């Protein structure tokens, strides 16, 4: 009877499973993961004025430089720096390749940022030849891992003099900081805005900068503008900086202390490009609180401590055994004396 009931219950379970599976297949596949963002979606409307499309599909930009069509006016997910950096450009902006970024810097008489120029991001409703045009030049400088140290140097009165001394001519002379440098330890990004002497109101006398730290280098955002554009470009700087992410394994948090090279630069070095002073900390430590969600660093390396526990135990055992052996040896040398025995009389030699 029990076997019959068990078989019947098993049959009911099988039939119920088949019925549920049939409903699931009838509904079709589930929604699945969200689609990946588009890569380099072309936006022909954002192609700069004066560009000419060639029969082979390439585009001759106003500067006369030929650029691949998939990068002219592109948006979406754009890999840069051999895949080390990902730039996600929303529809409110568009991306121009490195040749056009260098041509833009040449047109306005601005110095290129340190490192490799990767391209430029500009507002969707602007054109490079417009009088009021501004673009954010994207760059990458392989400085290595930058230590998040000495951020307090930014507010010291003589720091502008240090920056000026580190930038000899023909670099533009820093007049003052329109926005003092500041560091965001959560995003690992340092931002500031510089002001230069201007011959006239049309000169690009303001430069907003952001440096996003990575494991092996620094991604940069550089925007040059007129004095009357300072509010616009300083507001756009963090927005464009958030478009930059590092590939897995290349982010700042992927740094492995003791395995990766020691940092040669710290936060003030981002402005001076000078090595951090001798005697600075050997390991990179943030001046402020760590990024939310990360576990605090342990005070002791338990893995390394465990490795030495057997040797420590052996040493303690030896310290206990050696005195016992020495005492035992001494006890063996003690001769028990019978109190009933008298020592032999000393023999006195008689003299004649």
Domain presence at residue 213: yes
Query: CA 259, CA 82: separation in Å to the nearest integer?
Result: 23
Looking at residue 226, its pLDDT comes to 95
What is the span of the domain harbouring residue 226? 60-272
**Is the backbone peptide bond immediately before 331 cis, with ω within 30 degrees of 0?**
no
In a domain, 138, yes or no: yes
CA distance 118 to 138: 5
Q: Of 223 and 67, which is predicted with more confidence?
A: 223
The answer to whether position 10 is within a domain reads no
**Picking from 153-157, 170-174, 176-180, which range would have the lowest pLDDT averaged per residue?**
170-174
| Domain count within the chain | 1
Residue 257 resides in a domain: yes
Q: Who wins on pLDDT, 9 or 271?
A: 271
Say whether pTM exceeds 0.75: no
Domain assignment of residue 292, yes or no:
no
Average pLDDT over residues 22-33: 45
pLDDT of residue 302: 43
Is the pLDDT at 33 greater than 50? The verdict is no
CATH of the domain at 131: 3.40.1000
Domain assignment present for residue 250? The answer is yes
- Residue 216 pLDDT > 90: yes
pLDDT at 104 over 60: yes
* pLDDT for res 190: 98
Tell whether 117 is covered by a domain: yes
Among 21-25, 91-95, 145-149, 212-216, whose mean pLDDT is lowest?
21-25
User: Does residue 300 lie within any of the structural domains?
Assistant: no
Average pLDDT, the chain: 75
Q: Are 246 and 252 in contact (CB under 8 A)?
A: yes
What is the SS3 assignment for 219?
A: strand
**Per-residue pLDDT averaged across 95-123, rounded?**
95
Token reading at 283: 């390991």
Q: What are 11-20's pLDDT values in tens digits?
A: 545 455 444 4
Model confidence at 133: pLDDT above 70: yes
């Amino acid at each position: 009877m029990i076997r019959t009931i068990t078989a019947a219950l098993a049959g009911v379970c099988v039939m119920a499973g088949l019925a549920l599976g049939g409903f699931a297949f009838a509904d079709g596949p589930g929604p699945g993961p969200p689609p990946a963002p588009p890569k380099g979606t072309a936006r022909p409307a954002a192609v700069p004025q004066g560009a000419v499309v060639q029969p082979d599909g390439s585009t001759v930009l106003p500067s006369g430089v030929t650029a691949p069509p998939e990068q002219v006016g592109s948006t979406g997910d754009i890999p840069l720096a051999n895949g080390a950096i990902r730039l996600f450009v929303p529809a409110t902006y568009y991306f121009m390749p490195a040749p056009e970024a260098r041509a833009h810097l040449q047109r306005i008489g601005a110095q290129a940022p340190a490192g490799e120029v990767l391209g430029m991001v500009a507002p969707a409703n602007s054109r490079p030849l417009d009088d009021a045009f501004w673009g954010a030049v994207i760059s990458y400088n392989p400085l290595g891992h930058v230590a998040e140290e000495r951020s307090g140097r930014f507010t010291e009165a003589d720091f502008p003099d240090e920056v000026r001394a580190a930038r000899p001519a023909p670099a533009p002379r820093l007049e003052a900081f329109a926005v003092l440098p500041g560091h965001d330890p959560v995003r690992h990004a340092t931002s500031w805005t510089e002001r230069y002497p201007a011959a006239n109101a049309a000169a690009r006398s303001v430069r907003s900068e952001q440096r996003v730290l990575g494991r092996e280098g620094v991604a940069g955002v550089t925007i040059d503008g007129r004095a009357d554009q300072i509010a616009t470009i300083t507001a756009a700087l963090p927005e464009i900086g958030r478009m930059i992410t590092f590939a897995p394994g290349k982010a700042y948090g992927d740094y492995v202390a003791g395995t990766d090279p020691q940092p040669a630069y710290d936060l003030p070095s981002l402005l001076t490009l000078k090595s951090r002073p001798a005697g600075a900390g050997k390991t990179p430590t943030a001046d402020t609180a760590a990024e939310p969600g990360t576990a605090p660093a342990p005070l002791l390396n338990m893995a390394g401590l465990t490795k030495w526990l057997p040797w420590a135990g052996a040493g303690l055992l030896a310290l206990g055994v050696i005195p016992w052996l020495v005492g035992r040896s001494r006890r063996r040398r003690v001769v028990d004396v019978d109190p009933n025995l008298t020592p032999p009389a000393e023999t006195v030699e008689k003299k004649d």
